[in-house]
Amino acid sequence: MSESTGTAEAQAQVPGGRIVGLDMLRGLAILWVVVFHLWIDIKLVALPPADYYHTAFHRVSSGDWGRVGTSIIDAVSRIGFQGVPVFMMLSGLSLYLSASRRGSVAPLLPWYYARLRRLLVPYWAGFFILLLGACVVAALQVWLDGHSFAYQYHHGVTAAAWNVIDISWDDALVSLALVPRVLRDRWFGVYPNALWFVVVLVQYYLLFPFLRVLLDRIGPAWFAGGALIFTIAAKALLIWWFGALLLGSAPRYDGGVAFFRIDDFAIGMAIGYMLVHRRHVLAEYTTTAFDIACLAFLGLLLQAGGTLIDDRQGYVNALAAPMVVSGLTLLVLPLIVKAPGRIEANAAARVLAWTGTISYAVLIVNEPMRLFASLLRVHHLPDPAWWVFLVAIYVPATVLAAWPFAIVTGLIPAPRRGWPRRRRAPEPAVSAGIA
């Protein structure tokens, strides 16, 4: 199949060449990540994910039905960080589709400038919004508890109720420069710490033109398979050097250096290649009910199996993240490949897809929102009121606030009039989703 024919097939799935399923997946992933941050802020201490799976299984097997629901919520929320590799996979997919639509190979420097600008300008703007939010919370703390503004800024602004953030000048410089995050352990988690993945995306963007040439030359099977093997070997090397993926500097390398986690992005690129050049092959194995059931079963098996592995299993832990990425990819693949239908026409799906178009902005805006949620928690908002706040105010307000932020920072064009969904959707490559 020629590239032009494959591109036409991919563009024909939806008006304007946009795959609505990608936006829906971005929306699901971003809400999963937001829930994970909320859950961590409430729990303060998180056990390994496998422990929550075992607790849920024990309560089901023992008939403790009154607490089964809580266990399931804990288990699902604890692994919300897995929304990030979904983003990375969708980024590789969207970048390949976007590059294929252009046809000719774009000059490197203009391509880098356009991509990095769309990634870093919102990131920098988000840092200053977080800083402003910290100052507002400090001022509220002065009004509520007294002391000086300086005291409250350094001691009274928290995330997760008791985790004081206290952004220093050094932290600000490290955060704004971004690259230093991967140079020292302490710098990797500087605020906004939920945006640690941006330094990985920068590396992916820099690598993409060269990875695309390799993918087009060797094909998607060798490319994705090689990336998985490379990632497993790199993680095993970290385990050998540091003793475990959570010891010493291993988390910084494992989380912040692309070579130790390239599988998610590479798998996305491989799917993008298939959508452009061999979409009929993907459709053949992802359209019938039996196909979807088999993919779901295998995907859940890999995802759950990878989630149950941790540092307690030694070198086996090198398989955990690749298994999770592979499992999640199989789970979402039918939605990526399917032609638009009744699902996309559903009102809830449209809202989810709209959230997906501003997913990057949602995660940025979520950071200062966490400070205000923590302020309420510190001042002992009653539990019923706290959960009403989270469900009815916090999450909707975060998503709605992300829309003007996405417009102002250039992630999406400003709507001319009416509700945003009436506007023609932007290309995947220029949406506010991580692409």
Confidence band (pLDDT; 50, 70, 90) for 418?
very low
pLDDT at residue 167 tops 70: yes
pLDDT average, residue stretch 372-395: 74
Dihedral Cα 46, 312, 181, 395, nearest 10 deg:
-30
Closest by CA position to 6, among listed 340, 306, 275, 215: 275
Q: Where are the beta strands (DSSP E) in 63-195?
A: 158-159, 163-164
Q: Where are the beta strands (DSSP E) in 139-260?
A: 158-159, 163-164
Considering only CA atoms, give the Rg of the chain: 22
pLDDT in tens, 309-329: 999 999 999 999 999 999 999
| pTM over cut 0.85 | yes
pLDDT average, residue stretch 162-186: 91
Which pLDDT does position 66 carry in this prediction? 82
Instruction: Report which of residues 413 and 401 the model is more confident about.
Output: 401
**C-alpha dihedral sign at 115, 117, 118, 124:** positive
Task: For residue 375, give its domain range.
Answer: 3-430
Tokens at residue 116, please? 């990095």
pLDDT in tens, 36-63: 888 888 777 788 999 999 998 888 888 8
Q: Is 211 within a domain?
A: yes
Q: Is 425 within a domain?
A: yes
Confidence band (pLDDT; 50, 70, 90) for 419?
very low
Range with the lowest mean pLDDT among 6-10, 95-99, 172-176?
6-10
pLDDT average, residue stretch 128-148: 92
pLDDT in tens, 390-405: 777 888 888 899 999 9
pLDDT at residue 375 tops 70: yes
pLDDT average, residue stretch 154-182: 89
Q: Is 148 within a domain?
A: yes
Instruction: Report which of residues 276 and 16 the model is more confident about.
Output: 276
Q: Is 43 within a domain?
A: yes
Alpha-carbon span 3 to 1, nearest angstrom: 7
**Contact in structure between 108 and 288 (CB atoms under 8 Å):** no
Confidence band (pLDDT; 50, 70, 90) for 348?
confident
pLDDT average, residue stretch 133-139: 94
Share of the chain above pLDDT 70, in %: 87
Q: Is 253 within a domain?
A: yes
pLDDT average, residue stretch 91-112: 84
pLDDT at residue 433 tops 70: no
How many structural domains comprise the chain?
Answer: 1
Alpha-carbon span 125 to 128, nearest angstrom: 5
Range with the lowest mean pLDDT among 263-267, 304-308, 424-428?
424-428
Which pLDDT does position 15 carry in this prediction? 36
Which pLDDT does position 17 carry in this prediction? 54
Q: Is 77 within a domain?
A: yes
**Number of C-alpha atoms within 13 angstroms, CB side, residue 26?**
31
pLDDT at residue 364 tops 80: yes
Q: Is 435 within a domain?
A: no
Closest by CA position to 357, among listed 244, 288, 281, 435: 435
pLDDT in tens, 212-256: 999 999 999 999 999 999 999 999 999 999 999 999 999 999 999
Q: Is 355 within a domain?
A: yes
